[in-house]
Amino acid sequence: MSFTVQAGETLAIQAPSGAGKTCLLRLLAWLDEGQGGEIRLEGRLPHEWTVPLWRTEVAYVAQKAPDLPGCPDDLVQATHRFAAWRTRQHQDPRVHAARWGLPDGAWTTNWSRLSGGEQQRAALAIALSRDPRVLLLDEPTSALDDEATAAIEADLADRTVVWVTHDKAQARRVGTRSLQLHQTSSVAGAS
């Protein structure tokens, strides 16, 4: 498999369950190793950026927030300690999340006590607040209502995004291009 995503473009990826959409995003995020192929950002391989720098430039937001200790505010504070992120401009993630209907109290609520939609909005707002060059989004609005979904889609319209969705209408709305994965796709060797 081979594809290119240009700056400001949203590649909408659709596929049946089990076809490797999440695996592909994790490979692009350099969280998992593939069995071949190349991933490049501005012509450079991930190891040429170093892991911390790659993770500041390429942000992966999982469909379901991982089991994290503490609350979203704790994660925001932890990111301030990462050397690669200290020098980057960033916004308060609450600015984005407020537009998406996330209650302010969610920031100090334990992740495990937040609804799936609250977790999605907080995680996406944190990623977006760091201004990465590329966002890798795995069903980022699957637990959200139409209003929050529309607000997120509008906020991400000019960003560089690889957006996995099962929603064909959403893929048409957000995607400047689309990619269909099939059950037989070989994601492990993606390039």
pLDDT of residue 19: 87
pLDDT digits (tens, 9 = 90+) for 168-177: 999 999 999 9
Query: Does residue 102 belong to any structural domain of this protein?
Result: yes
pLDDT digits (tens, 9 = 90+) for 1-26: 889 999 999 999 998 888 889 999 99
| CATH classification of the domain holding 93 | 3.40.50.300
What is the count of structural domains for the chain? 1
**Cα(73)–Cα(75) distance, rounded to whole angstroms?**
5
Its domain, for residue 144, covers 10-189
